[in-house]
Amino acid sequence: MKKFIALFAGITVFLSGCGEFMPAAENSEIIEQENIPQGENEYIPLNYENQKGQWFPYVNFPDYMEGKSEEEYRAEVTKMLSEALAEGINTVYFHVHPQGDAYYNSEIYPKGNFNNMGYDPFEIFLDIAHSMNFSVHGWLNPYRMQTAEEMELLPDSFIVKQWINSNSPMVRLVGNRWYLNPAYTSVTSLITDTVSELMENYNLDGIHIDDYFYPDTSEDFDREAFENSSADDLSQWRRENITNMVKAVYDTVKGRDERVLFGISPQGNINADYNTQFADVELWTRNKGYADYIVPQIYYGFENEVCPFEETLRQWENFAESDNVSLIIGLAEYKENKYDKWAGVSGETEWLENDDIIKRQIELVSASEIADGYALYK
């Protein structure tokens, strides 16, 4: 499937013109890139055979970005990445586009609420992470936009606000938040434009999307588009809409650089993926041409009544048996020492009563003949 070369037989510190250069993980193996002609100064994307990932979500940006000077932010990022390095992490997913906003320099989206100090937080994160030999994937939520109150404050030049002001069906209000409507090709084009903007301006190793697909199962959400289509099965039509977006993003990534990876992180509950968010995760995982890797968020304990961890892992392994797509297992480190109200009676106190759940889950993933690594949500 892939060709690999060994990277660093042991932990060694290298010195370069920019200071210390540290390997991201002991005995890591890097995906050998195809023999694609390169310019003299062209960046060569870095990705690992066995991903050990970590998400850096926007919900934590207030802790280390909001109101911080560039120097303070650099220090915080260096500290966090050093801690990740010490845990053996080799791949990081940075939240560049969480909710209709940008934590990078964008001509499409307004700055995120915590991106308020004049520097480019993604460029700094990327530079520091690459100096430590991390693979860096830009993480975006394709359809989730701002709240109603936040949108009111944005300039009318913002394309999504223009759609709202013209009462376009391409954007819909669900609860108090706006969401793009997956039924429209103009929406998919906006998403692929986002990917193109990121890849054009940053030395990325991957593009990463997570599980914000259809936000609502109500027939009213996209009734107009469905009635104007030739489809007769609403659920299947919605799954096709999401798959069309996934395929378009994959093709956009590969059209710009075949060496850059595209990954998807759906929720771990396969039934919910398929029937509430209309994400055809089996199709994407079994077949080539939709993603390079899938990171199901198996955020469940062993005693979860709906999706016990080991059983759910086996279901995803079954999807990935063809070896067309790498399977990375998302693990919920943030649940440690917490009550799990969604786990059912048998599992609600499991994370409180056991301090080795993540350790046992990593052991299972590491022993798997199918899975290619894991990723931690802290």
In whole angstroms, what is the distance from residue 66 CA to residue 68 CA?
A: 5
Burial class (CB in 10 A: 0-12, 13-18, 19+), 338: exposed
Is residue 238 in a domain?
yes
Any domain includes 63: yes
For 315-345, the pLDDT digits (tens) are: 999 999 988 999 999 999 999 999 999 999 9
Q: Is residue 308 part of a domain?
A: no
162, part of any domain? yes
Percent of the chain with pLDDT over 90: 88
pLDDT by 10-residue block (mean), the chain, 378 residues: 32 32 53 56 91 98 98 98 98 98 98 97 98 98 98 98 98 97 98 98 98 95 96 98 98 98 98 97 97 98 97 98 95 96 94 97 97 97
The pLDDT value given to residue 259: 97
Q: Residue 103's domain spans which residues?
A: 48-295
- For residue 221, tell me if it sits in a domain: yes
Q: How far is CA 218 from CA 107, 172, 215, 228, in A?
A: 33, 12, 9, 17
The pLDDT value recorded for residue 29 is 76
φ, ψ (nearest 5 deg) of residue 54: -150, 135
Domain of 188: which CATH number?
Answer: 3.20.20.80
Tell me the β-bridge partners of 185.
none
Overall number of domains in the chain: 1
For residue 65, give Cα distances in angstroms to 68, 96, 321.
5, 13, 41
How high is the pLDDT of residue 239?
A: 98
pTM: 0.91
d(CA 147, CA 113): 12
User: Which pLDDT tens digit goes with each residue over 26-73?
Assistant: 446 777 665 555 555 689 999 999 999 999 999 999 999 999 999 999
- Classified as helix, coil or strand, 93 is strand
Q: Does residue 155 lie in a domain region?
A: yes
| Cα angle: 370, vertex 240, 377; to 5 degrees | 45
Q: Over pLDDT 70: what percentage of the chain?
A: 90
- Report the candidate in 372, 219, 211 with the shortest Cα–Cα distance to residue 297: 211
**227 occurs within a structural domain:** yes
Q: Is residue 307 part of a domain?
A: no
pLDDT in tens, 343-375: 999 999 999 999 999 999 999 999 999 999 999
Structure confidence at residue 32 (pLDDT): 60
